Amino acid sequence: MSASPKQVRLEGSTKHRRKDAEVVGEAPAEEFNVTVMLRRKKPLPPPETTAKLKPSERKYLSREEQAAEFGADSADIALVEAFAKENALRVVQSDPAQRKVVLSGTPAAFNKAFGVDLKTYKTPNDTYRGREGDIYLPESLRDVVTSVTGLDNRPFARPHVRAHRPLVNTAAAPGGVVLRPKAAQVPTGFTPPQVAALYNFPANLTGAGQTIAILELGGGFRTAELNQYFKSVGVTLPSVTTASFPGGGKNNPGTNALDEANPDVEVLLDIEVAGSVAPGAKIVVYFAPDATDQSFLGVMDAIIHDTVHRPNIVSISWGGPEDEGTDQFRNEFDQLLQSAANMGITVCAASGDNGSADFRANDMNWDGAAHVDFPASSPNILACGGTQVSASNKGIASEVVWHDGQNDGSGGGISRKFPQPDYQKNAGIVPAVNPPGAALRGVPDVAGDAAPASGYHVLCDGQAFPDPAQGIPPVGGTSAVAPLWAGLIALLNEGLGNPVGFVNALLYNLGGTAAFNDIVTGNNGDYQARKGWDPCTGLGSPNGANLLQALKT
C-alpha cells in the first residue's frame, strides 16, 4: 500500500529486506500491538552535565521528576489517540511518563494508518511479519511521533553467550554413536567469586542498598536451582525477583540447557555472575516477550521508569549489529539511556561475541566488513568487551583479547552511527579500518573475562557447565562481562555512598592507571590490542579495589 498524499515520511524508519528472506504471503489477518513513541515536553540535559563531577557531587533526577519534566505532553497523547480512532485502531495503553501510546489493530488497518505494506517473510531460520521502506504519518504528527515499532516483528537482538554443546561427529561414528572429546580437553574455568578475586574486587562490600536490573529477551530460571548454585559457590543467597509490567514477558525456563534455541543459559549466567559478585544487592529480572526492536525498547522503558523496584544499575547481555536496526530504534533506545544517565542509572552492555564483524561467519547478511553491536555502540552506555585469562597463585598470570578465530571473540570497533563522545576525545580512538572511515564512537569501553577457555561455572536446567564427562566447557561470551561490571558498579556505589551513574567519563579519566589491567596482546579480527584504549578490550579489565580508591580521591 502506498502512502496517502497527506502523509509524511517518519524520519529514520526505513526497513530493508534481509538477504536471506523471501515474501511468502500476506501478513496474518490477526490483531497485534504497535508502540508509538512521542517527543518530550522539553529536551533532556546532556549526560555530560554530570559526567565531569565526582560521584559525591552528583545530583540526579528522581523517576517522578523525570516523568514530570521530560515525559510526553498530554496534548500530544491526545493527537495520537485521535489518529488511532480515525484509523480503526484501539488504544491499549497511554503513558505520558514513558512517552508512549500502544495501539492494537489488524494488518489492513495498520497498512492504511502508516502507509506500509505488511507481508509474511520466511528465512532459513524463522518466519516473520515484515515491511520494506518507510513509515508514513499525517502531517499533524510530523514532529510529535519519534518512533513506531511492532509493525515488523523480525528478531533484532541475540544473546551474547558462548555455551558450547557436546561435539558430535556422526560421519565417523558407525551406528550414529555420538563422539565426545576427552575430559582432559575441557578447561576448568572459574566461579564468579574466583573471577572477582582475580580482578581484586573490594572484599568488604556486597552491593548492599543497590538494585541491579537484568534485561532478558527470553528464557527463564528456577529459584531452587539458583539456591543450589549460590550455595555451591559459597555465596550468601541474593534476593532475585522478577518484574511485571504491561507488555512484558514471563519467566519461562526450558528443560534442556544443551538446546541451541534455549536462552536459559544466558539468563542463568547473568543472574549467577551478578548475584555472586554483589550478593547484597537486589536483583530484578525483566523479561520481554521476544527479541524484536519493539520488545527491546519496551523492556528498557519499563526498567528506566520502574517506580516500584527503582533499579540503579542495568545489565544487558543482548544486542545485534548496529546497522540492522533502524535509525528510529537506535535513537529511541539512546533517548532511554540518556534518561538513565540523568537518573543516576548505570547501564552495562555486552559488546558482542563475533569479533570485529559482529556477524556469524556463515550469515549471508554479513557484508564482509567490520560492524559494532548495538546497544553497546551507544555513547551513553558502558560497553563491555572480552578477554581470556590464565591464573597462577590466585592472581592473573596473563590476560589477552578473547579471540577464538574468524568472527568468534570480543566484539569491538568503530560505530558508523554515533559520533565520538567527549569522554573519548583524548583516548586515542582509532579510525574505522574495514571499510575505512572516521574515528567515531569507539567500542568497547572496558573488558573482563569472556573466553570459554577461561569461562564461568554455570548451573542451568539441571546441567552443569563445565561438564567434563560430556565434553562441555565453561560458559563464555561478553554476556558474562556485562553482569560482572554491573556487580562491580554495585560495590562501587556502596563504597562511595552515592551512585556513580553515567560512569564513562570517570573511567576514561583513569585510563592507563592502576585502576585497570591494560590488555596489549591479541586481536578481534580487524583490530589489534595496544597500549591504552583499543577496539578489542577498551581501557582494559578492572582492578576493583584500586578503581574504588581512585573514584574516592
Return the active site residues: 266, 270, 479
CA 472 to chain centre: 26
Identify the sign of the CA torsion 377, 215, 523, 258: negative
Q: Which amino acid is at 334?
A: D
Are residues 98 and 6 in contact, defined by beta-carbon separation less than 8 angstroms? no
Number of other residues whose CB lies within 10 A of the CB of residue 511 = 21
**Residue 307: helix, strand or coil by DSSP?**
coil
Strands 458-460 and 413-414: unpaired
In the chain, % helix, strand, coil (3-state, to 5) comes to 30, 25, 50
In this structure, the number of other CB atoms found within 10 A of the CB of residue 155 comes to 19
- Amino acid in position 174: P
Q: Which residues contact 474 (CB under 8 A, 6 or more apart)?
A: 187, 188, 189, 190, 452, 454, 455, 456, 457, 458, 465, 466
Q: How far apart are CA 297 and CA 292, in angstroms?
A: 9
Running DSSP on this structure, what letter comes out for residue 476?
Answer: B
Dihedral pair phi/psi, residue 475, rounded to 5°: -90, 135
- The neighbouring-strand residues paired with 30 are none
CA dihedral 319→323→326→330, nearest 10 degrees, is 50
Rounded to whole angstroms, the Cα distance separating 251 from 267 reads 10
Closest CA to 447 of 353, 541, 547, 318: 541
Residue given cell 533532556 in the structure block: 44
Task: Name residue 32's beta-bridge partners.
Answer: 105
